[in-house]
Structures are given as structure tokens and as C-alpha cells.
Amino acid sequence: MTRSWQIWRDRRGRLSYLRFSVLALLLLPLLKAIFEAGGIAHGARPLNELIHRAGFWALVFLGTTLAVTPFRRIFRYGKLLDVRRMLGVGTFCYIAAHLLLFYADQSYSPSKALHEITHRVYLIIGAIAWLGLAALAVTSTDGMVRRLGPMRWRRLHQVSYFIALLALIHYFQQTKADVTVPIFAASLFCWLIAYRLIAAWRQASNLSTSYLFLLAIVVSLITFIGEAIGIGLAFHVSPLRVLETIFNFDVGIRPGWRILVAGLTVAAVDAVLARWKSGDVPARAVAAE
Ligand code: HEM
């Protein structure tokens, strides 16, 4: 009985409320879809709606998995590492459902599905990302960590940043109208990648509060400029004209502002916790990343 509960226990053998909470978080989009099943079924394209939901949540959970390393340091909460694998496997479940629903939408015809995938660039990119996530899921077991060795395993799992980039391209390419959410998602990934790159460059396990403030500002600027160039290219207008409108809040809050607020909030939390908590991230756990 105790053994069957092993997966829900932390390293000290106690029932892990963190793991239960993450399971609840992972199940939330599924429960929401079940709750809204009536509305979805009566929509114009129920299967397409479910494909979108599964893809969106896979991307959200992929980002959450990548956020574990910086957030456990910023929040001084080493236990977060305990749920990284669970988040990764959850991501794969949603992405498996995404492909399965796509297959159902292609009338369960392998040749039709394969033809569709190989004839659309955004689907080719999605398929490469899918295969990458499958490889990460297969190699996520303790046995595979031992077989590959920690160094090679870590290097392999760093591919997840490249996979996230492909998933974002796939997301952008299939978006037909409003790109606000994809741009915000891209800015969050940009923050995550920049955090890891700066930490690696400084050979530090975490970034100081001033670096986090700087990171928030730089990523926000990149987001404003990237959005302006994107809109400029798409609508044949000068990116400078687009930049002039960033203070026009009548048309909505631009992703650049959103990432600025999110980044500054994280930096402020870091500043507070740096005073209150000395850090409960054990050296052994840092070595395991
Ligand atoms: C073989 C692999 C894949 C196939 C066949 C596929 C297929 C699709 C299709 C058909 C759509 C809807 C497009 C439309 O309605 O025009 C879509 C949207 C999407 N896919 Fe995929 N996809 C794949 C892999 C992935 C992967 C690996 C990710 C991310 C981890 C992903 C994330 C998304 C997202 C975020 C959306 C848009 C969701 C939204 O609109 O909110 N897909 N995909």
C-alpha cells in the first residue's frame, strides 16, 4: 500500500501536497473541457476547438516546466524540483491528446493525417517539436538518467528550449488574427531563455535582484520592438509608427507592458525574499539541474 503511494511522497517519504497540487493544476484544463462539453459539442468545429485547447495547455505546461529552475531559486523553494518531471509528463499528455485529436479530425486516416502534416510548414514544425517532446518524455525516467549519465541527460533535456521555440513558431503560424497572446507567450519564453543564458554566462546558479530588474526591462523592450517589426512587416507600415502607439491603452494593453509588469513583480519578490529567506535550495539539487 505504502509502495503504491510512493509517487505521491517527497524525498523524505512524506505525502507531498505539492505533487497533489500540481496534479490538480494539470487536470484543470481537462476538467474545464468536460464542464464545458455541452457548449463545445454545439460549437462550429468541436474537434478543432479541442485541438486548440490541448495545444494551448501543452504550451502553457511546457513553459511552466521550464520555469521550475529559475523560480525555485527566485522563490527560494527548492522543493519545486520535485514536480518538474510531473509537469514535463503532463505536458506530453496534452501534446499526445493534441495529436490524437488532430488524427480524429482527419477522420482517423493515417494517409490523410500524414499528407496534411507534410504539406503545411506549421505542421512540419509542430511535428518536429512533438517528436522532441516524445524523446524527452521517454528519457525522463530514473533508469534513463542512470543509463545516459547526468551530464548527457542534462544536455539532452536542454533541447527543451529549442522545442519551445519550434512550438512558438507553430503557434504563431496558425494564428489567424490577434497575435497578442502568442507575442506574450514568446516574451515569457524569451525571459526564461535569457535567465538561463545569463546564469550560464555568469557561471552563477541564480541571478541577483538587479539582474532580474534589468532582465524585465530588456525583455519588455525586445517585445515592443519585435511586435512593432512583426506588425510593420505584416501590414506594410513603419515599425516606428507602431512603436508610437504603445502608450495608447484604448486598443488594449500591449504584451510589452504585460511582460514588464510580470518581470518587475518577479524581481520585487526576489528582493523581498533575499532579505527574508537565506535560501533552501540545497547544493545537491543545484548540481542535479
Ligand atoms: C504532429 C504534431 C502537431 C500537429 C499535427 C499539430 C496540429 C495543430 C493544429 C491542426 C492546430 C490548429 C490549427 C488551426 O485551427 O488552423 C494546432 C494549434 C496549436 N498547436 Fe499544434 N500540432 C502539433 C504539435 C504541437 C506542439 C508540439 C505544440 C506545443 C508544445 C503545439 C501547440 C499548439 C498551439 C499552442 C496551438 C494553438 C492553440 C490556440 O489557438 O490557442 N502543437 N496544432
C-alpha cell at 96: 499526445
How confident is the model over 128-140, as a mean pLDDT? Answer: 95
Length of the chain measured in residues = 289
Q: Is 283's pLDDT higher than 50?
A: no
C-alpha cell at 49: 476547438
Q: CB burial class (10 A; 0-12, 13-18, 19+) of residue 79?
A: middle
Nearest one of 79, 68, 64, 70 to 267, comparing CA atoms = 70
Residue 4 is predicted with a pLDDT of 61
Q: CB burial class (10 A; 0-12, 13-18, 19+) of residue 78?
A: middle
Cα–Cα distance, 32 to 113 (Å, whole number): 27
How confident is the model over 189-217, as a mean pLDDT? Answer: 92
Residue 251 gets which letter from DSSP?
A: G
Q: How far is the CA of 171 from the centre of ligand 1 (A)?
A: 6
Mean pLDDT, the chain, as a whole number?
90
Q: How far is the CA of 51 from the centre of ligand 1 (A)?
A: 7
Residue 286 is predicted with a pLDDT of 44
Q: Is 172's pLDDT higher than 60?
A: yes
Cα-Cα-Cα-Cα torsion 196, 199, 200, 204, nearest 10 degrees, comes to: -140
When comparing pLDDT for 246 and 4, which is higher? 246
- In ligand 1, the atom with minimum distance to the C-alpha of 117 is 5
Q: How far is the CA of 78 from the centre of ligand 1 (A)?
A: 33
Residue 141 gets which letter from DSSP?
A: S
Ligand 1 close to Cβ of residue 130 (< 6 A):
yes
Nearest one of 90, 89, 71, 91 to 81, comparing CA atoms = 71
When comparing pLDDT for 259 and 78, which is higher? 259
Is 62:91 a contact under the CB 8 Å cutoff?
Answer: yes
Residue 78 gets which letter from DSSP?
A: G
Q: Tell me the per-residue pLDDT of 70-118, one tens digit each, with 9 for 90 and over.
A: 999 999 988 899 899 999 999 999 999 999 999 999 999 999 999 999 9
Residue 285 is predicted with a pLDDT of 46
Q: What is the CA radius of gyration of the chain?
A: 21
Query: Which pLDDT band, with edges at 50, 70 and 90, does 9 fall under?
Result: confident
Cα-Cα-Cα-Cα torsion 162, 166, 169, 171, nearest 10 degrees, comes to: -120
Q: Is 17's pLDDT higher than 80?
A: yes
Residue 161 is predicted with a pLDDT of 94
Is 233:227 a contact under the CB 8 Å cutoff?
Answer: no
Q: Is 2's pLDDT higher than 80?
A: no
Beta-carbon contacts of 237 under 8 Å, excluding residues fewer than 6 positions away, are 231
